[in-house]
Amino acid sequence: MILFHTYHQHFTKENFAEIFQRTVKKHGRMATAIYHEDQVWTFGDLDAYSNKVANHLISCGLKRGDVIFMLMQPSAAYLGIWLGALKAGITPGLLNYNLRNASLTRSLDELDAKAIVVGNRLKNAFVEIDGEAKYPNGMFWYVDEASSRPESAFSNEASSAGTWNQAIAKSSWAPPPKLSRINGRERVAYLYTSGTTGFPKAAIITTPRFIYMTSGTRYGFGIRASDIIYISVPLHHTLGLICGVGQLMLHGTCLAIRSKFSASQFWDDCIKYNCTVVQYIGELCRFLLAQPPKPTDTMHRVRLAYGNGLRKETWIQFQNRFKVPEIGELFGATESNTSIVNCDQTVGAIGFIPLCMRSSYPIYIIKMNETADEPIRDPVTGLCIECGPNEVGQIIGRINENNPSRSYDGYLNRDDSEKKILRNVFKQGDQWFASGDLLYYDELGYLFFSDRVGDTFRWHGENVSTSEVEAVLMKEFPDTGINVYGVLVPGTEGRAGMAAFEVDFKSMSTDQEQVMVGKIYSSTEKALPPYARPQFLRLCEHFEMTNL
């Protein structure tokens, strides 16, 4: 069924608006689509509101192929704006709402967007970087998500809640002009990711990739149309948008959306909305386990939790305490073609590929040079060497542009995309996506995560670019040697940031040390999102250099 849905779109070239209309027709306009705080949106509400969005953007002169930024926290209006842009043929660039100052500016500069929609809660972050000046034609709007209620989908009454709400109130809820089927690989979003090197980059999400990952999650974990999925993870990432929102858009599964994760309210929300499925990242589960036990821990109806990054010990504790029968662990980077799911509850595994299916699902693990972060190649053939069972290496996926499930769309910047391609891997002329993730598989074919290569690490569920952190610190300390890297912290998921500084202890006083620490704190607090700020500092007289 996964390949059926993917190939059906590939051959028919259906656009996203048509796919959603089919979902609305199947489930009915009065069926509940979204719960958000005290709001209840039906499929009809979402359809009408997104029509108003599409008509408004078209009236402003935006056209098919243009880009619009969204800087908002998750909400029902978020989904309506994203869907409305797609109905007009406009691709949304979904910004990380944690970004501030230079990090936010860099993301804005990555795409040539014609307009931006900013949530009221994030207005200050936008104003701080003089964001309005970037859109001199007035193509920026502030949206009040709380006032973007389902009844506004069919209303043309004036609103004073925000510039966006006022504009949408005047817009028609009639369907916008139908998009022709000109390209089966139209872009449905740009999602930012650091990958394993450099600064955050805009990854291209096409319609077939969206369908493939959504369907893989659905059929891999047995998600049903009758389920209610609780989403408290960000929608600017693959897990929330594709694996979560995709279940509503493509298959009609109802969503309960929280704007920002709350460990204390998590299970209360699940009970309130009768949720049967929840999403997680490993850190989220650890936060839930850190909460004091209370009766609501097991009063819910949740039968499945799915996501990524759940360590074996946390997995067991989570199931034992909260009595969630099924855990669905998945693996796959935003820009990659190497998606895997663990659909049989093997604790700690991120996926399973039977050894007999290797040829039909071409994902392999190859040996790596740990020092150079490069594949080890056979000295005679020059080809890469496959790892054996329980041998750690980099997971790679074969690229086949004629197969929508194996194609590689990469980043908007083609040079960045090229860096992720390995050639002449198992034969001359072949191409493979280099994930940058180190895994190993056991004798049965179960895969387990080990580490990452490159200059990024994960903390609090986000990719941290060491280059970005170093750039902020070097601006404050231009004459000091600086090295940023991730370190393991017992009892936590991922790696925490360590910033090492090369200083002369003999000439540095205690007061100077305190001033230095103060500058480090103030510069990173202003320029970096919380997850990217170093958690540890290390002062060294000399860095140990590796000879390559």
Answer whether 254's CB lies under 8 Å from 227's CB: yes
> Measuring CA to CA, which residue among 499, 505, 502 is closest to residue 520?
499
> Measuring CA to CA, which residue among 286, 455, 435, 465 is closest to residue 368?
435
SS3 352: strand
Choose the weakest-confidence range: 1-10, 43-52, 431-440: 1-10
Q: Is the pLDDT of residue 163 over 70?
A: yes
**Tokens in use for 103?**
């990090």
pLDDT tens, position by position, 267-293 = 999 999 999 999 999 899 999 999 999
**Mean pLDDT throughout 29-54?**
98
Tokens 């990024």 belong to residue = 456
> Measuring CA to CA, which residue among 396, 390, 340 is closest to residue 363?
396
> Measuring CA to CA, which residue among 279, 286, 231 is closest to residue 491?
286
What Rg, from alpha-carbon coordinates, does the chain have? 24
Calculated CA dihedral for residues 74, 79, 80, 86, nearest 10 degrees = 130
**Mean pLDDT throughout 491-508?**
87
> Measuring CA to CA, which residue among 18, 334, 359 is closest to residue 186?
18
Count of helix runs (H) and strand runs (E) in the chain:
16, 27
Whole-angstrom CA distances from 467 to 470, 472, 473 are 5, 9, 10
Give the fold, CATH level 3, of 456-540. GMP Synthetase; Chain A, domain 3 (3.30.300)
Q: Which helix (H) or strand (E) holds 520?
A: helix 510-527
**Tokens in use for 383?**
């080809």
Q: How many residues does the chain have?
A: 548
> Measuring CA to CA, which residue among 428, 441, 261 is closest to residue 348?
441
Write down the pTM of the prediction: 0.91
Tokens 């049903």 belong to residue = 224
> Measuring CA to CA, which residue among 305, 276, 275, 274 is closest to residue 288?
305
pLDDT tens, position by position, 381-422 = 999 999 999 999 999 999 999 999 899 999 999 999 999 999
The pLDDT of residue 456 is: 86
The whole-angstrom separation of Cα 116 and Cα 66 is 12
Q: Is the pLDDT of residue 507 over 90?
A: no
Task: Tell me where in the chain the CATH 3.40.50.980 domain(s) lie.
Answer: 2-260
Residue 170 burial class via C-beta count within 10 angstroms: exposed 0-12, middle 13-18, buried 19 and up: middle
Choose the weakest-confidence range: 1-5, 272-276, 391-395, 464-468: 1-5
Q: Where does 299-405 have alpha helices with state H? A: 312-322
103-121 burial by CB neighbour count: b if 16+ within 10 A, else e?
A: bbbebbebbebbbbbbbbb
Task: Tell me where in the chain the CATH 3.30.300.30 domain(s) lie.
Answer: 456-540
Give the fold, CATH level 3, of 353-452. Luciferase; domain 3 (2.30.38)
Per CATH, the architecture of 2-260 is what? 3-Layer(aba) Sandwich (3.40)
For residue 502, what are the β-bridge partners?
481, 540
Answer whether 42's CB lies under 8 Å from 29's CB: yes
**Mean pLDDT throughout 152-157?**
83
Better-predicted residue by pLDDT, 113 or 455: 113
The whole-angstrom separation of Cα 239 and Cα 305 is 12
Task: Tell me where in the chain the CATH 2.30.38.10 domain(s) lie.
Answer: 353-452
What is the DSSP code string of 400-436?
Answer: -TTSTTT----BSSHHHHHTTEEESSSSTT-EEEEEE
The pLDDT of residue 546 is: 45
